[in-house]
């Protein structure tokens, strides 16, 4: 990787922004597993593994599974955020491997929010 | 100062307490013999920075007293000496004092220290015996060489080296530390200062399974003390100890930072959260098998 | 197009329009979006109503708090907000918005703005969220003096505890002459029950790196250290990855952005010693010598690491810096109270429903944090106090729930901002026990250099232990207060100077509880084992036998279906029977 110039920073910013917002590319959904120390202690790694297994088994190609840091609400972990193309993200809490199966098939593939496990829709903002 | 001598006393120990008592008694007319085991008086206070609770400088209080004791006509200093025998009864004691040899005329010595530097047989004056380095296994030698090589260029390299050894061996084997001392040219005492200061370093081998109870505030209010008690009972050891069969070591830690799961214990890398006291035996059993 | 028909105006559509315009301006979209009012849409039952063109999307039943979400999602990110659109009856969506959930609603994110949003191991995702733009600005278009002025004007104060103004600290270090200068990020978060620094590094490590880069430019330093607790393996790993990535992109290293500025960061791990959070101890620990504090002055800014001028800031402080540079001092200074600007991250733990990490504006009240964000106390118990600031802090009791939180106010009531641990306690928490807990902690962690701290904490601990065992004497409380004052006055570093705080503040606010222990030999919270006993209420016990089965020492006996008894000579007061009884027949006194 060559050294960045300021113009490059701007380019990366645009490209990465599009990618994270799912505006571009073939992906139709992104699943973020919140993996801070607290999340991992509460079992986030199991959820992550379960998700990867599901993706492999169902041979779905257009779903991104990624990690992120703690979402703040430690007592409700493990948590994941599911984002479908063109829709606001949904946060799910108190997950188990069973629940993640259901969320995957109903929400990620079927497009319907699993209301009984969902905590909230949307993302937080800077003041 | 009272001129008439009332009698004589012998004070054992030339620390601040002995010095002050000597001065007070000598001022009120007693002839004082101050016996000190070491070569000089002053004791622990001479090593302190400040004194409690006034925060006064220790040396500033002590120094005038040292000089006063040395000059006082009523005080006779007997240093480098120990009490052999005490005979008699209150009011009439006879004490046998054994003075250790020192081969230096105390009346003429100014304490310049030149002799210790020039002494061809240094060991005669202050014995600092150098034990031969312990013999290590070939693989240990390889390991510490590699560790030292990795950190040699770092600024403040002692810490990373110790951390690395601690990680490899699960504790800091004292034999290795002596080698490290030689290799890094850091006095062993400085290494021990660091090794005993931090909670993460251990000088004794630890068990196969490390059971750690979080005793952070959140865990404390949610019942961590009960878990510690239950584990001590279950393993039959105290915190900081290892079971005889080297299978479990019980430790406490200051907060793992997963307060959402309080109270928490970890066994090796595994986390058990929202734990109840009665679940302890089951967890331990799992690792026993 | 906001509907301004009579029906919609009467349910607030003009207010909505105003908020909408403000919000659009805030997001810098005023050139792209035009807000107009229209006549009645005829859908009056669902007002206030708004339509967005050319998308042809129709929003209904708007309230002012929906607008920021709507602008962010729809206009900024191009995702229509389904929840606010017209939904045929029967297909309503009961999942609430983030902004409707108390836990999220009252938070204001600056230091944690990327938490849970980006992958901390991908630098590109950080860049996508305006990452390293502040650094580019600082490096290419600002002089060190301008950077320092910006930070000073913002009113940012050290988030590690004492709250020293960051800008002044930088200026002090900048003005000291030296051939090399160092900057340090203090990530030795030792307070039990506090983990905001860990979380910031775990979820957004680049923010810390960027903050340090800006600080380095301002001070004139080319080398930085991050001193991090070895108990945080994940944070260490992620920060390590982040530093590597920044180096690959040339954001760390020589001649960054061709602006003639070199800077690199090295990570140093602690090994579990609380006192290392103290500046001078931390410096000694990095140098690899015994980490005892030393006398200040000289301050680290004059003579720090290896005798060079050194500037130390906390993780959270560094994470705030890029946002201030990018969005300006005025923006930051508009948040918070008169003397405490911006936000503070707290770790909200203990006896509270929503345990977690929260970032709130300074000046928020405790009540809002505990009830609105924290969701109150579990099990319908009564709130008693909150312990703020860890072993250096104190308790804030129920009576002060409406206290606005900032540096000065907390100090006034005997607590301290500290690094931001907030442990909530309910009626079952004994204040003497808490004071004892913290004293045991500080006594253990005292490095032993100052007698006042080493022996004073031990003396206080002995008295507290005596009180908790029912052997307290008249005059103990007064003696504790006197000792506490002496230890405060006579100790050299922050650890000793603040260690009496937990004792003094619990005495200040809960003197009656101490007196109950000493005079009546009772522990009102039923925590101190020597002062309580368990017995079974024979009217309530149905003889199910559950407790006798669970009892670890076989102290409970009785025939089936008849009331049981506890043998007090065997009972170890562990409380298992109390927790397991379903009929509330086990009584503790």
- Per-residue CA distances from B213 to A35, B268, C253 (Å): 22, 11, 42
What subunits touch chain B, counting only 3 or more CB pairs under 8 A? A, C
What's C25's domain CATH number?
3.40.30.10
* Sequence-separated (6 or more) residues with CB below 8 Å from residue B215: B224, B225, B228, B252, B253, B254, C192
What's the mean pLDDT in C378-403?
91
Q: In this complex, do A77 and B260 lie within 8 Å of one another by their Cβ atoms? A: yes
SS3 of C115, please?
Answer: coil
Q: In this complex, do C116 and A68 lie within 8 Å of one another by their Cβ atoms? A: yes
Q: With a CB-CB cutoff of 8 Å, which residues 107-136 of chain C face chain A? A: 107-110, 112-121, 124-125, 127-133, 136
Residues of chain B with C-beta less than 8 angstroms from the C-beta of C306: 155
Position with higher pLDDT, C35 vs C159? C159
Residues of chain B with C-beta less than 8 angstroms from the C-beta of C236: none
What's C580's domain CATH number?
3.30.70.20
Domain co-membership, C415 together with C446? no
The C-alpha atoms of residue C188 and residue C229 are separated, in whole angstroms, by 5
Domain co-membership, C376 together with C286? no
> Are the C-beta atoms of C311 and C126 separated by less than 8 Å?
no
The answer to whether residue C101 scores a pLDDT higher than 90 is no
pLDDT at C40: 61
Q: In this complex, do B273 and A75 lie within 8 Å of one another by their Cβ atoms? A: no
- Per-residue CA distances from C35 to C12, C16, C20 (Å): 16, 11, 8
Q: Is A125 on the interface with C (CB under 8 A)?
A: yes
State the nearest Cα–Cα gap between A110 and chain B, in angstroms.
32
* Sequence-separated (6 or more) residues with CB below 8 Å from residue C419: C159, C160, C161, C189, C191, C194, C196, C197, C314, C316, C389, C390
> Are the C-beta atoms of C50 and C1 separated by less than 8 Å?
yes
**Is ipTM > 0.90 here?**
no
- DSSP E strands: which ranges in C380-521? 383-388, 394-397, 421-426
Q: Is residue C105 part of a domain?
A: no
Residues of chain B with C-beta less than 8 angstroms from the C-beta of C269: 159-160, 163
Q: In this complex, do A70 and C81 lie within 8 Å of one another by their Cβ atoms? A: no
The C-alpha atoms of residue C301 and residue C280 are separated, in whole angstroms, by 11
Q: Is B259 on the interface with A (CB under 8 A)?
A: yes
The C-alpha atoms of residue C301 and residue C538 are separated, in whole angstroms, by 69
What domain count does chain B have?
3
What's the mean pLDDT in C530-534?
90
Q: Is B214 on the interface with A (CB under 8 A)?
A: no
* DSSP one-letter code for C73: I
pLDDT at B127: 39
Domain co-membership, B183 together with B241? no
What subunits touch chain A, counting only 3 or more CB pairs under 8 A? B, C
Position with higher pLDDT, C87 vs C139? C139
Strand pairing partners for C425? C385
Q: Is residue B117 part of a domain?
A: no
Q: What are the strands of the beta sheet with B75-78, ordered from one edge?
A: B7-12, B30-35, B75-78
Residues of chain C with C-beta less than 8 angstroms from the C-beta of B277: 552, 574-576
Residues of chain B with C-beta less than 8 angstroms from the C-beta of A75: 260
**CB-count burial class (<10 Å; 0-12, 13-18, 19+) for C249:** buried
Domain-ending residue, one of B69, B99, B129: B99
Q: In this complex, do A41 and B259 lie within 8 Å of one another by their Cβ atoms? A: no
Domain co-membership, C512 together with C455? yes
Q: With a CB-CB cutoff of 8 Å, which residues 8-37 of chain A face chain B? A: 37
Mutate to test the interface with C, among A112, A116, A127 (most CBs of C within 10 A): A127
Q: With a CB-CB cutoff of 8 Å, which residues 63-82 of chain A face chain C? A: 66-76, 79, 81
Element (H, E) at C356: strand C356-361
The answer to whether residue C90 scores a pLDDT higher than 70 is no
State the nearest Cα–Cα gap between C466 and chain B, in angstroms.
18
C120: closest CA among B188, A69, B254, B11? A69
Q: In this complex, do A68 and C203 lie within 8 Å of one another by their Cβ atoms? A: yes
What domain count does chain A have?
1
Q: Is residue A104 part of a domain?
A: yes
Residues of chain C with C-beta less than 8 angstroms from the C-beta of A74: 355-357
Q: Is residue A1 part of a domain?
A: no
Q: With a CB-CB cutoff of 8 Å, which residues 37-96 of chain C face chain A? A: 68-69, 72-73, 77-83, 93-96
Q: Is residue B2 part of a domain?
A: no
What's B273's domain CATH number?
3.40.30.10
Residues of chain B with pLDDT under 70: 1-5, 111, 116, 120-131
Q: In this complex, do A69 and C96 lie within 8 Å of one another by their Cβ atoms? A: no
What's B76's domain CATH number?
3.50.50.60
Which of the residue ranges A38-47, B251-260, C365-374 has the most confident prediction, judged by mean pLDDT?
Answer: C365-374
pLDDT at B260: 80
CA C366 to chain centre: 13
C253: left (phi over 0), alpha (psi -120 to 50) or beta: left
> Are the C-beta atoms of C159 and C199 separated by less than 8 Å?
no
Q: In this complex, do B273 and A42 lie within 8 Å of one another by their Cβ atoms? A: yes
SS3 of B14, please?
Answer: coil
Domain-ending residue, one of C287, C311, C332: C332
Q: In this complex, do B260 and A37 lie within 8 Å of one another by their Cβ atoms? A: no
The C-alpha atoms of residue B15 and residue B40 are separated, in whole angstroms, by 10
* DSSP one-letter code for B85: E
Backbone angles phi and psi of C580, in degrees to 5: -90, -20
Band of pLDDT at residue C44, cut at 50, 70 and 90: low
What domain count does chain C have?
5
Q: How many CA atoms lie within 13 Å of C321's alpha carbon, on the beta-carbon side? A: 34
Of C30-34, C300-304, C337-341, where does mean pLDDT reach its minimum?
Answer: C30-34
C290: closest CA among B223, B105, B162? B162
Q: CB count, 10 Å around CB of C209?
A: 31
Residues of chain A with C-beta less than 8 angstroms from the C-beta of C343: 127
C496: closest CA among C269, C301, C278, C314? C278
Q: Is A38 on the interface with B (CB under 8 A)?
A: yes
Backbone angles phi and psi of B135, in degrees to 5: -85, 130
* Sequence-separated (6 or more) residues with CB below 8 Å from residue B25: B9, B11, B32
Domain-ending residue, one of B99, B127, B159: B99
Q: Which domain holds residue B272?
A: 209-288
In chain C, the percentage of residues whose pLDDT exceeds 90 is 52
Q: Is residue B88 part of a domain?
A: yes
Residues of chain B with C-beta less than 8 angstroms from the C-beta of A76: 260
Distance, first Cα to last Cα, chain C: 67
Q: In this complex, do C288 and B159 lie within 8 Å of one another by their Cβ atoms? A: yes
C65: closest CA among C86, C93, C80, C84? C84
pLDDT at B38: 85
Measured at the alpha carbon of residue B48, what is the angle toward residues B43 and B50, in degrees to the nearest 5?
A: 135
Domain-ending residue, one of C67, C100, C133: C100
* DSSP one-letter code for C142: -
Q: In this complex, do B258 and A75 lie within 8 Å of one another by their Cβ atoms? A: no
> Across the interface, which of B51, B156, B217 has its CB nearest the CB of C193?
B217
Of C50-64, C105-119, C131-145, C199-213, where does mean pLDDT reach its minimum?
Answer: C50-64
Q: Is residue A76 part of a domain?
A: yes
Q: In this complex, do B258 and A41 lie within 8 Å of one another by their Cβ atoms? A: yes
What's A95's domain CATH number?
3.40.30.10
Q: Is residue A67 part of a domain?
A: yes
Residues of chain C with C-beta less than 8 angstroms from the C-beta of A120: 95-98, 100-101, 104
The answer to whether residue C11 scores a pLDDT higher than 50 is yes
Q: Is residue A68 part of a domain?
A: yes
Helix axes C431-445, C501-518, angle to 10 degrees: 140
The C-alpha atoms of residue C453 and residue C499 are separated, in whole angstroms, by 8
Quick one: closest CA in C to B258, which residue?
Answer: C195
The C-alpha atoms of residue C522 and residue C517 are separated, in whole angstroms, by 5
Distance, first Cα to last Cα, chain A: 35
* Sequence-separated (6 or more) residues with CB below 8 Å from residue B226: B277, C574, C575
Domain co-membership, C14 together with C159? no
What's the mean pLDDT in C38-63?
67
> Are the C-beta atoms of C209 and C224 separated by less than 8 Å?
no
Q: Is residue B21 part of a domain?
A: yes
Of A15-24, C130-139, C402-411, where does mean pLDDT reach its minimum?
Answer: A15-24
- Helix (H), strand (E), coil (C) string for B97-148: EEECCCCCCCCCCCCCCHHHHHCCCHHHCCCCCCCCCCCCCHHHHHHHHHHH
Domain co-membership, B192 together with B216? no
pLDDT at B53: 76
C216: closest CA among C448, C557, C208? C208
C26: closest CA among A127, A88, A13? A127
Band of pLDDT at residue C553, cut at 50, 70 and 90: confident
pLDDT at C487: 94
Taking only the tens place, the pLDDT of each residue in C248-266 is 999 999 999 988 999 999 9
Q: CB count, 10 Å around CB of C545?
A: 16
Domain co-membership, B183 together with B223? no
Q: Is A52 on the interface with C (CB under 8 A)?
A: no
SS3 of C228, please?
Answer: strand
Domain co-membership, B185 together with B230? no
Q: Across chain A, how many H-helices and E-strands are there? A: 4, 5
pLDDT at A127: 67
Q: Which domain holds residue A97?
A: 26-121
The C-alpha atoms of residue C131 and residue C120 are separated, in whole angstroms, by 12
* Sequence-separated (6 or more) residues with CB below 8 Å from residue B163: B200, C230, C269, C271
Kindly report the average pLDDT of chain C as a whole number: 88
Q: In this complex, do B51 and C492 lie within 8 Å of one another by their Cβ atoms? A: no
Q: With a CB-CB cutoff of 8 Å, which residues 65-124 of chain B face chain C? A: none
Quick one: closest CA in B to A75, which residue?
Answer: B260
Q: Is residue C476 part of a domain?
A: yes
Q: Which domain holds residue C81?
A: 2-100
CA A14 to chain centre: 20
Exposure string over B23-37, b if 16+ CB within 10 A, otherwise e = bebbeeebbbbbbbe
Residues in chain B: 289
Q: Is residue A126 part of a domain?
A: no
Measured at the alpha carbon of residue C548, what is the angle toward residues C546 and C549, in degrees to the nearest 5?
A: 65
What's C223's domain CATH number?
3.40.50.11540
Residues of chain B with C-beta less than 8 angstroms from the C-beta of C492: 50
> Are the C-beta atoms of B183 and B148 separated by less than 8 Å?
yes
C575: closest CA among C527, C531, C540? C527
The C-alpha atoms of residue C102 and residue C369 are separated, in whole angstroms, by 9
Position with higher pLDDT, B253 vs C502? C502
Position with higher pLDDT, C104 vs C383? C383
pLDDT at C7: 58
The C-alpha atoms of residue C82 and residue A87 are separated, in whole angstroms, by 8
Residues in chain C: 589
Taking only the tens place, the pLDDT of each residue in B182-195 is 888 888 888 888 88
Of A18-22, B128-132, C519-523, where does mean pLDDT reach its minimum?
Answer: B128-132
Residues of chain A with C-beta less than 8 angstroms from the C-beta of C135: none
Helix axes B158-169, B138-151, angle to 10 degrees: 140
Cβ–Cβ pairs < 8 A, chains B and C: 152
Domain-ending residue, one of C484, C518, C552: C518
The C-alpha atoms of residue C410 and residue C420 are separated, in whole angstroms, by 12
């Amino acid at each position: 990787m060559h050294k960045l110039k300021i113009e490059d920073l701007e380019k990366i910013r645009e490209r990465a922004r599009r990618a994270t917002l799912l505006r571009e590319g073939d992906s139709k959904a992104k699943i973020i597993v919140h993996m801070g120390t607290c999340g991992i202690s509460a079992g986030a790694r199991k959820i992550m593994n379960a998700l990867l297994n599901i993706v492999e088994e169902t041979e779905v190609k257009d779903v991104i599974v990624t990690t992120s840091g703690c979402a703040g609400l430690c007592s409700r972990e493990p948590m994941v955020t599911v984002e479908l193309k063109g829709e606001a993200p949904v946060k799910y809490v108190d997950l188990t491997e069973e629940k993640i199966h259901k969320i995957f098939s109903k929400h990620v593939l079927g497009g319907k929010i699993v209301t009984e496990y969902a905590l909230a829709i949307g993302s937080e903002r800077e003041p | 100062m009272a001129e008439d001598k009332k009698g004589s006393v012998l004070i054992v120990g030339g620390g601040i307490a002995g010095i002050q008592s000597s001065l007070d008694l000598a001022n009120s007319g007693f002839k004082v013999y101050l016996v000190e085991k070491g070569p000089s008086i002053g004791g622990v206070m001479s090593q302190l920075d400040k004194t409690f609770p006034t925060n006064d400088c220790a040396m500033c209080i002590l120094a005038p007293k040292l000089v006063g004791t040395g000059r006082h006509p009523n005080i006779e200093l007997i240093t480098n000496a120990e009490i052999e025998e005490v005979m008699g009864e209150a009011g009439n004691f006879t004490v046998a004092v054994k003075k250790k040899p020192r081969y230096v005329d105390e009346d003429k010595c100014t304490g310049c220290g030149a002799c210790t530097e020039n002494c061809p047989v240094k060991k005669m004056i202050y014995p600092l015996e150098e034990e031969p380095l312990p013999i290590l296994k070939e693989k240990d030698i390889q390991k510490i060489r590699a560790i030292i090589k990795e950190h040699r260029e770092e600024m403040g390299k002692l810490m990373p080296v110790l951390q690395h050894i601690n990680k490899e061996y699960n504790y800091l084997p004292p034999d290795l530390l002596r080698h490290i001392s030689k290799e890094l040219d850091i006095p062993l005492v400085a290494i021990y200062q660091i090794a005993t200061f931090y909670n993460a370093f251990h000088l004794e081998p630890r068990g196969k399974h490390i059971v750690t109870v979080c005793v952070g505030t959140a865990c404390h209010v949610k019942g961590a003390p009960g878990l510690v008690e239950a584990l001590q009972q279950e393993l039959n050891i105290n915190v900081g100890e290892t079971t005889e069969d080297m299978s479990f070591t019980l430790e406490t830690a200051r907060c793992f930072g997963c307060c959402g799961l309080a109270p928490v214990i970890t066994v090796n890398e595994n986390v058990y959260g929202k734990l109840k006291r009665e679940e302890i035996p089951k967890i331990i059993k799992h690792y026993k098998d | 197009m906001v509907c301004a028909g009579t029906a919609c105006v009467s349910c607030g559509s003009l207010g909505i329009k105003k908020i909408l315009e403000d919000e659009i301006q805030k997001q810098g979209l005023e050139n792209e979006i035009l807000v107009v009012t229209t006549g009645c849409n005829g859908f009056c039952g669902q007002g206030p109503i708004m339509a967005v063109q050319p998308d042809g999307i129709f929003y209904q039943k708007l309230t002012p708090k929906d607008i920021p979400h709507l602008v962010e999602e729809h206009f900024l990110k191009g995702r229509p907000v389904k929840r606010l659109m017209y939904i045929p009856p029967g297909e309503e969506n009961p999942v609430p918005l983030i902004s409707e959930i108390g836990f999220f609603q009252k938070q204001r994110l600056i230091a944690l703005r990327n938490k849970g949003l980006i992958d901390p191991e991908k630098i590109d995702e950080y860049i996508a969220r305006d990452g390293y733009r502040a650094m580019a600005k600082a490096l290419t278009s600002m002089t060190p003096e301008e950077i320092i002025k910006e930070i000073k004007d913002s009113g940012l104060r050290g988030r590690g505890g004492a709250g020293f103004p960051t800008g002044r600290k930088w200026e002090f270090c900048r003005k000291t002459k030296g051939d090399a200068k160092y900057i340090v990020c203090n990530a030795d978060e030792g307070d039990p029950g506090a983990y905001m620094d860990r979380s910031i590094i775990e979820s957004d490590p680049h923010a810390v790196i960027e903050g340090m880069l800006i600080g380095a430019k301002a001070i004139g330093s080319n080398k930085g250290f991050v001193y991090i607790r070895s108990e945080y393996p994940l944070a260490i790993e992620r920060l390590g990855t982040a530093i590597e990535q920044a180096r690959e992109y040339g954001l760390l290293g020589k001649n960054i952005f061709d602006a003639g500025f070199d800077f690199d960061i090295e990570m140093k791990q602690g090994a579990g010693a609380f006192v290392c959070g103290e500046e001078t101890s931390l410096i000694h620990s990095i140098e690899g010598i015994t980490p005892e504090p030393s006398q200040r002055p000289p301050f680290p800014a004059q003579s720090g690491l290896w005798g060079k001028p050194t500037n130390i800031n906390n993780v959270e402080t560094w994470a705030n810096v890029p946002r201030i540079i990018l969005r300006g001092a005025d923006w930051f200074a508009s948040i918070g109270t008169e003397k405490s600007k911006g936000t503070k991250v707290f770790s909200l733990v203990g006896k509270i429903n929503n345990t977690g990490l929260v970032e709130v504006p300074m000046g928020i009240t405790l009540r809002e944090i505990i009830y609105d964000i924290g969701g109150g106390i579990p099990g319908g118990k009564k709130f008693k106090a909150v312990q703020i600031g860890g072993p250096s802090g104190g308790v804030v009791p129920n009576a002060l729930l409406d206290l606005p939180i900032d540096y000065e106010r907390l100090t006034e009531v005997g607590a301290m901002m500290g690094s931001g641990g907030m442990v909530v306690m309910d009626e079952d928490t004994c204040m003497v026990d808490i004071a004892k807990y913290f004293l045991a902690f500080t006594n253990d962690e005292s490095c032993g250099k100052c007698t006042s701290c080493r022996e004073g904490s031990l003396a206080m601990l002995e008295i507290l232990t005596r009180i908790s065992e029912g052997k307290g004497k008249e005059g103990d409380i007064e003696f504790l207060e006197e000792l506490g004052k002496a230890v405060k006055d006579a100790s050299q570093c922050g650890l000793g100077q603040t260690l009496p705080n937990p004792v003094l503040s619990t005495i200040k606010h809960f003197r009656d509880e101490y007196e109950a222990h000493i005079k009546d030999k009772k522990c009102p919270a039923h925590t101190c084992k020597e002062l309580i006993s368990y017995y079974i209420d024979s009217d309530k016990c149905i003889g199910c036998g559950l407790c006798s089965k669970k009892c670890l020492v076989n102290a409970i006996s009785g025939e089936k279906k008849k009331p049981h008894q506890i043998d007090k000579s065997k009972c170890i007061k562990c409380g298992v029977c109390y927790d397991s009884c379903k009929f509330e027949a086990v009584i503790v006194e």
